[in-house]
């Protein structure tokens, strides 16, 4: 087969064999790509368990980072974080360091693999935001018994993921994109994805755009998965939904993924290192092989991608050479024999499972500067502050104490909430209190400048009674509150 990229040299690709079954599934995939006639300059690099054990806390050594920065394309096996080493996952580190903001997880009905959904023609892609949300990993113990994780969602992050979803739909000839959010509850964070989706959708008039609440999306995926084409969603929602969708087509052995960034793209199976199967030549390499197929399409090598995908589908359809996860121990063949069968089927086309036609994926230009890109900048006013403080006293004592202490300052204690429910002034709520209080102070005269000196004076008064752990300014942007009300609160401020 001729190389389709139009250059005579081999294509540099970083390959990370990874841990457990990683070397076996990555090895099978490399072999098929090499045999498909594509000349890759594989640059093999370590990451994961062996690297943590060398004392490198990130699990990814400098030489691996340099290789990825140089090649921009990675075929990656699963990585483990051994117990007792490293606080952060090496996988998440790689995704974040190279800003691979989009995680594309396609699933389709696999011929020869019986599931409760067989015959329903499941064929969909989850496009998951990959670096923001609760997975930004910004966590703090607020009190000895109350933990907090910040859910950070940016307009820029939403724009990138929404455009990626529509572009995936176009590149694969798909007709619908569903945006799945929990915007009914998290109006500002999840709501930002919904708003951005609604703003960008008209740029893609050829594609139907629908919003769906994420819990209903999970329900619909189990009930009628064939109604979906592309689903775009936030990081944690996408993590959960995409494991669900992989189960619709036969499980983790069949779920490939691509981590897409503006400079780096990383291709890996959704599954982990399945350590109990490591080195036993029994594991199903399909998910990794399909990830390799996605890598080839990313490089514009559509013919080689189709050659491998078709041979894989022919092998699965044929049913004589399948791994133990599909047919059980008695009738199964090993990873190597399955890969040999795929090689033998090069050039054949499956009878039942057509391979989708793919166009190049048009990735939007991305800035790496900190700007909002919003023009003109909205008019901003600070109308008060939320002070989070700790106390084991009842709500009424906390409230009355604070009201006494702020005497003479230009603030009113508008309310106190406990885990988001208003508990002061008392309103009959049956809230089970914890020692973590959000105390909302609003300016009595909105024109008063709420500068750092005034915040300091307020904090000194609060601290005199209760330890505080953090402060949030209450902004309005163009007159719209940039903060939510608590459950049971009337007006925002
Ligand atoms: P896992 O490695 O995905 O394995 C869970 C189970 O899924 C296996 O025991 C096996 O099920 C099945 N399975 C997974 N891959 C398969 C394949 N290719 N063929 C057939 N069956 C397959 O999940 P885990 O045991 O939770 O995680 C193990 C390690 O991997 C952990 O250290 C975890 O942190 C890491 N991990 C890494 C990544 C990544 O690098 N992206 C992702 C997930 C997990 P049966 O037991 O039923 O046969």
- How confident is the model over 293-305, as pLDDT tens digits? 999 999 999 999 9
Tokens for 171?
């590149």
The confidence band for 360, taking pLDDT boundaries of 50, 70 and 90, is: confident
For the chain, what percentages of helix, strand and coil (3-state, to nearest 5) are there?
A: 35, 20, 40
Active site residue 325: no
Give the CA radius of gyration of the chain: 26
The confidence band for 170, taking pLDDT boundaries of 50, 70 and 90, is: very high
* 272 CB within 6 A, ligand 1: yes
pTM: 0.93
Bridge partners of 439, per DSSP, are: 387, 416
Atom of ligand 1 nearest to the CA of 89: 34
How big is the CA angle at 126 (ends 30 and 259), to the nearest 5 degrees? 45
177 three-class SS: strand
Ligand 1 centroid distance, CA of 92 (Å): 16
Q: Closest Cα to atom 4, ligand 1: which residue?
A: 274
Catalytic residue among 34, 88, 215, 478: 215
**Residue at token pair 């409760």:** 116
**Spelled out in words, what is the top-level CATH class assigned to the domain 380-481?**
alpha beta
* 99 CB within 6 A, ligand 1: no
- Yes or no: say if 287 and 274 are a contact pair by the CB < 8 Å rule: no
Cα–Cα distance, 126 to 270 (Å, whole number): 12
The contacts found for 5-10 with CB under 8 angstroms, 24 or more apart, are 5/299, 5/300, 5/301, 9/39, 9/41, 10/39, 10/40, 10/41
Q: Say whether 380-481 and 1-99+261-346 share the same fold.
A: no
Q: Closest Cα to atom 10, ligand 1: which residue?
A: 274
Catalytic residue among 135, 160, 325, 386: 135
Domain assignments of the chain as residue spans, ordered by start: 1-99+261-346, 101-251+360-377, 380-481
**Residue at token pair 């970083």:** 14
Q: Across 37-132, where does the E strand assignment appear?
A: 40-44, 73-76, 102-108, 123-129
Report pLDDT for 37: 93
Ligand 1 centroid distance, CA of 472 (Å): 41
Cα–Cα distance, 424 to 417 (Å, whole number): 7
Tokens for 133?
């949300």
- Yes or no: say if 293 and 256 are a contact pair by the CB < 8 Å rule: yes
What mean pLDDT is predicted for residues 422-444?
A: 92
- How confident is the model over 111-157, as pLDDT tens digits? 888 999 999 999 999 999 999 999 888 999 999 999 999 999 999 99
Q: Closest Cα to atom 21, ligand 1: which residue?
A: 253
Ligand 1 centroid distance, CA of 182 (Å): 28
Ligand 1 centroid distance, CA of 251 (Å): 11
* 91 CB within 6 A, ligand 1: yes
Tokens for 315?
């092998």
* 79 CB within 6 A, ligand 1: yes
Q: Closest Cα to atom 40, ligand 1: which residue?
A: 78
Pocket test for ligand 1, best of 84, 267, 273 (most atoms within 8 A of CB): 273
Report pLDDT for 493: 59
Tokens for 202?
């008209």
Atom of ligand 1 nearest to the CA of 285: 18
Topology (CATH) of 101-251+360-377: Isopropylmalate Dehydrogenase (3.40.718)
What is the torsional sign of CA 192, 171, 255, 66?
A: negative
- Yes or no: say if 462 and 439 are a contact pair by the CB < 8 Å rule: yes
Tokens for 353?
């499972």
What mean pLDDT is predicted for residues 25-35?
A: 98
Ligand 1 centroid distance, CA of 269 (Å): 10
Active site residue 386: no
| Average pLDDT along the chain | 93
- The reply to whether CATH 1.10.150.80 applies to domain 1-99+261-346 is no
Secondary structure of 422-475 in HEC code, one letter for each residue: EEECCCCCCCCCCCEEEEEEEECCCCCCCCHHHHHHHHHHHHCCCCEEEEEEEE
Catalytic residue among 76, 96, 156, 182: 182
Q: Closest Cα to atom 27, ligand 1: which residue?
A: 272
Atom of ligand 1 nearest to the CA of 77: 40
Beta strand 230-233 with 123-129 is parallel
Helix (H) or strand (E) holding 337: helix 335-344
Q: In this model, does residue 226 exceed pLDDT 80?
A: yes
Lowest mean pLDDT among 97-101, 129-133, 256-260, 362-366: 362-366
Tokens for 137?
């990993």
Burial of 240 (0-12, 13-18, 19+ CB in 10 A): middle
Half-sphere exposure of 387 (CA within 13 A, CB side): 27
Beta strand 436-443 with 468-477 is unpaired
Report pLDDT for 491: 67
Active site residue 182: yes
Q: Across 162-297, where does the E strand assignment appear?
A: 176-181, 208-213, 230-233, 256-260, 265-269
* 192 CB within 6 A, ligand 1: no
Catalytic residue among 239, 325, 386, 435: 239
Work out the end-to-end distance of the chain between its first and last CA atoms, rounded to an integer number of angstroms.
Answer: 67
Ligand 1 centroid distance, CA of 47 (Å): 17
The confidence band for 5, taking pLDDT boundaries of 50, 70 and 90, is: very low
The confidence band for 82, taking pLDDT boundaries of 50, 70 and 90, is: confident
Cα–Cα distance, 123 to 229 (Å, whole number): 7
* 325 CB within 6 A, ligand 1: yes
Q: In this model, does residue 18 exceed pLDDT 70?
A: yes
Atom of ligand 1 nearest to the CA of 269: 41
Q: In this model, does residue 371 exceed pLDDT 70?
A: no
What mean pLDDT is predicted for residues 55-66?
A: 94
């Amino acid at each position: 087969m001729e190389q389709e990229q139009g250059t005579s040299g081999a294509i540099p690709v970083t390959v990370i064999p990874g841990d457990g079954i990683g070397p076996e599934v990555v090895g099978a995939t490399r072999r098929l790509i090499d045999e498909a006639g594509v000349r890759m300059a594989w640059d093999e690099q370590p990451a994961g368990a062996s690297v943590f054990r060398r004392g490198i806390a990130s699990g990814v050594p400098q030489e691996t980072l340099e290789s990825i920065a140089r090649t921009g394309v990675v075929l990656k096996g699963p990585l483990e974080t051994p117990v007792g080493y490293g606080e952060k996952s090496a996988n998440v580190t790689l995704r974040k360091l190279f800003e691979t903001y989009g995680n594309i997880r396609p699933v389709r009905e696999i011929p020869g693999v019986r599931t409760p959904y067989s015959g329903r023609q499941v064929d969909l892609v989850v496009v998951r935001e990959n670096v923001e949300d609760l997975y930004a990993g910004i966590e703090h113990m607020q009190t000895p018994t109350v933990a907090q994780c910040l859910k950070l969602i940016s307009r820029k992050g939403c724009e990138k993921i929404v455009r990626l979803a529509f572009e995936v739909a176009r590149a694969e000839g798909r007709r619908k994109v569903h945006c799945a959010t929990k915007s009914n509850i998290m109006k500002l964070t999840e709501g930002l994805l919904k708003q951005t989706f609604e703003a960008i959708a008209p740029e893609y008039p050829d594609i139907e755009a629908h919003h769906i609440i994420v819990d209903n999306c999970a329900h619909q995926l189990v009930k009628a998965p064939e109604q979906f084409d592309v689903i775009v969603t936030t990081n944690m929602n996408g993590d959960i939904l995409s494991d669900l969708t992989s189960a619709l087509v036969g499980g983790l052995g069949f779920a490939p993924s691509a981590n897409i960034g503006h400079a780096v793209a990383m291709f890996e199976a959704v599954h982990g290192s399945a350590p109990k199967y490591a080195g036993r030549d029994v594991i199903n390499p399909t998910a990794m092989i399909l990830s390799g197929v996605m890598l080839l399409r990313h490089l514009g090598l559509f013919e080689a991608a189709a050659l491998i995908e078709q041979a894989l589908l022919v092998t699965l359809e044929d049913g004589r050479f399948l791994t133990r996860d599909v047919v059980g121990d008695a009738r199964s063949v090993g990873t190597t024999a399955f890969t040999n069968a795929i090689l033998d089927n090069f050039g054949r086309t499956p009878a039942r499972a057509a391979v989708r036609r793919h166009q190049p994926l048009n990735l939007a230009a991305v800035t790496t500067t900190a700007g909002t890109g919003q023009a003109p900048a909205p008019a901003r006013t600070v109308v008060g502050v939320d002070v989070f403080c700790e106390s084991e006293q009842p709500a009424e004592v906390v409230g009355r104490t604070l009201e006494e202490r702020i005497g003479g300052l230009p603030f009113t204690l508008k309310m106190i909430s406990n885990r988001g429910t208003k508990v002061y002034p008392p309103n009959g709520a049956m809230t089970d209190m914890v020692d973590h209080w959000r105390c909302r102070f609003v300016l009595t005269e909105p024109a008063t400048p709420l500068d750092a000196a005034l915040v300091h004076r307020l904090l000194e008064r609060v601290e005199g009674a209760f330890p505080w752990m953090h402060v949030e300014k209450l902004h309005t942007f163009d007159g719209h509150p940039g903060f939510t009300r608590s459950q049971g609160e009337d007006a925002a401020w």
